[in-house]
Structure 1
Amino acid sequence: MKIQAKNVNRIALYSILLMILTAIHHYYASILYQSPWRLHVVQVSIVVIIYTLVAFVVFRKWQNTLFAKIVLSIFFVVTGIVSVAWIGIFEGGYNHVVKNIVFLIGLPESVTSTMFPPSIYHAPHDVFYEVTGVIQLVFACLILFYSYRFYQQRKTNQEN
């Protein structure tokens, strides 16, 4: 059970760090691009941070109870959908990694404007904004790695 707790600790830590980074990233972008609509992601980040902290405490305190298992299951769903899929893969991966590659290799504007409509996206020009966007994918990969380790350990424990 110790290894599982260690993996949950890391998943929670990286999810919280990802959400803090995401809040900073989107707050900064709302000012940089004068786009207050980006602030909704700050609110989502705060909700995910709060839920992650609650789930972490419940898991640590009542680890072997049905309630803790339900809370932990919901935690994995929230982390998988919000932190990994939406923020990590879509926001960090597509909106930043792919966008930076597309612009760096110099694809024609007809392609870039189709993939990244100018009404929503901006050509890379701000290092802080782009780096914090790319780091989102890094945190998502760390969450996936420790989630995989958690489930592998769980599977091993169930087989024994």
Structure 2
Amino acid sequence: MRNISDIIEHYIKQMLKSGPSNFVEIQRNELADRFHCVPSQINYVISTRFTLEKGYVVESKRGGGGYIRIRRLDLNTDAKVIETILNLFGSRISQREAIGIIHRLLEEEILTPREARMLEAAMLLEELRPTIPEPDTLRASLLSAMFRAILKG
């Protein structure tokens, strides 16, 4: 049996698929009422299952008529998505985030399985931690350089 987070995630993904656009706007309280859960459960699902590395951009507008907009990035039609991803993680990226982005690019067939394995291997810097003072900074630089090289080819 699936848990409530899985059910909410599936529901939002179905909304994205069936909608006329590549985004969906939801109100947290309405969704919480629909699934008989607390609004923080909706926050949890959005913050863990609809992340940039999984191919989503989440925007929120607070206030009385506030909403949460979830947009699925289409890497095949968004010509500047890679550039956007690189700009969003900036000068630091965690291993988990880097691997997530690599998997997303593999799913979209922007990376070959071989390229993805090579990128993943380069992101595993933990063994070098004693000699590298800022592994997240090095990881971001490496990932950025490798993405740019792959996209040029």
* TM-score calculated relative to the size of structure 1: 0.28
* TM-score calculated relative to the size of structure 2: 0.29
Larger strand share, 1 or 2: 2
Larger helix share, 1 or 2: 1
Question: Which one has more relative contact order, counting CA pairs under 8 Å at least 6 apart?
Answer: 1
